[in-house]
Chain A
Amino acid sequence: QVTLRESGPARVKPTQTLTLTCTFSGFSLDTSGMSVSWIRQPPGKALEWLALIDWEDDAYYCPSLETRLTISRDTSKNQVVLTMTNVDPMDTATYYCARTLTEDDAFDAWGQGTMVTVSS
């Protein structure tokens, strides 16, 4: 059974760095074609893809946020970590991690999401 679970702080202050962890089970990020993405959704708004890390440890980022994001993986712990620097109230959102099995494939498994509020 494939599961993903996001964890991180529920609240951060503006200008701080946000660190989110996706802990997964039921698959290996070392499997050819596999990738894990971070996707967020501000309250009442649309989904926004943030970053992806794949089985070859290659990382891809949303162009408008690339300078603030870093995605990394720890295959021994089955975790993917996203850091976002210099957060702003507009970064308030539910953050999801999701898996794709191969390149150009569906996000076929999602975590339940973790709500992060940026406020002083």
Chain B
Amino acid sequence: QSVLTQPPSASGTPGQRVTISCSGSSSNIGLNHVYWYRQLPGTAPKVLIYRNNQRSSGVPARFSASKSGTSASLAISGLRSEDEADYYCAAWDDSLNWVFGGGTKVTVL
């Protein structure tokens, strides 16, 4: 069971906006940055968002993220078929370890 809580799935039709939540605690998200990773089947994850809301190089502006208190969210607007992937949130925990969310599978209907 993952320390950070994400919905297992999210879906939308092309062009729609999809939001993924990530809930943590005062020892991780509440104190430290949140990172978002995207993982395509059979490949290693890649960083999508770093330090709460900064898009990694090459990530389109359709991807945005925010953090408030002990929760964070990732939004994908203008959903496209190539956005189908697993998305993970992560944060450093003050018990001196990284924690990940359980992952959210995004499906484009």
Contacts and interface: CB of A to CB of B under 8 A. Distances in A.
Contacts of A108: 47, 50, 56
Nearest to B47: A106
B45 A107 contact: yes
Nearest to A97: B44
B62 interface: no
Interface stretch (B13-21, B72-80, B92-100): B92-100
Contacts of A113: 44
A107 B47 contact: yes
Contacts, number: 58
B88 interface: yes
A104 B103 contact: no
B100 A105 contact: no
Contacts of A39: 100
A82 to B, nearest CB: 14
Interface of A: 37, 39, 46-49, 52, 60-63, 96, 98, 103-108, 110-113
